[in-house]
Chain A
Amino acid sequence: ETGVTQSPTHLIKTRGQQVTLRCSSQSGHNTVSWYQQALGQGPQFIFQYYREEENGRGNFPPRFSGLQFPNYSSELNVNALELDDSALYLCASSPGLVRHRTDTQYFGPGTRLTVL
């Protein structure tokens, strides 16, 4: 157990809808990152938050947005869902001792999103 939780476990949405996924990081971890993992692929970096500010972003469009809160929880929001957004969404927290370095990540179990 990593101490990182995600909700919900599974979610089914329709194309064009909006979705909010939630993550609760380990207490004391300054950094949270979100990843998208399509079936049969490795995770792809969406963005990272450090002390409630976006700290870096991967190659994802602006309809993917996020928030990090002072209580070590965070959200991933996806607007205007597309079929290709169907994937496992993983959040990962880390102590964030060095702001622009990504050390050991503690992953949650993921949210399986299906877009119909």
Chain B
Amino acid sequence: SQQGEEDPQALSIQEGENATMNCSYKTSINNLQWYRQNSGRGLVHLILIRSNEREKHSGRLRVTLDTSKKSSSLLITASRAADTASYFCATDWAGGGADGLTFGKGTHLIIQP
């Protein structure tokens, strides 16, 4: 089963606008990561935020983490056509053992030129 859930499932915006997608998860985590996937190919790591961090920036990306609500958001500012992709949040469970990452179903983002 998949722990994370991204919201919305699909998002279509105009180039230049900001895109916000949300992620909710269920258990305690070590970290939360966001990945991008273009057309069913490999995933590209975007940003990692640890459980003791609340906000992180990387270029046009801003990620927030609220561990009390078990939620995260990814903001992409000044979107470009090349940002069209599926975006996944993934969590690393803090319960011990190596369980890899648990992914949600993703948000499919379409940037209209």
Contacts and interface: CB of A to CB of B under 8 A. Distances in A.
Given A88-B40, A101-B30, A106-B45, A42 B2 contact: yes
Contact of A33 (B31, B33, B88, B100): B100
B34 to A, nearest CB: 11
A110 B42 contact: yes
B1 to A, nearest CB: 8
Interface of B: 1-2, 4, 30-31, 33, 35, 40-45, 48, 88, 90, 92, 96-106
B45 A105 contact: yes
Interface in A90-116: 90, 92, 99-110, 112
Contacts, number: 86
Interface stretch (A12-20, A43-51, A77-85): A43-51
B58 to A, nearest CB: 12
B33 A48 contact: no
A41 interface: yes
A58 B92 contact: no
Nearest to A45: B100
B99 to A, nearest CB: 5
Given A42-B2, A103-B48, A56 B41 contact: no
Contact of B98 (A39, A50, A59): A50
Contacts of B99: 45, 48, 56, 58, 102
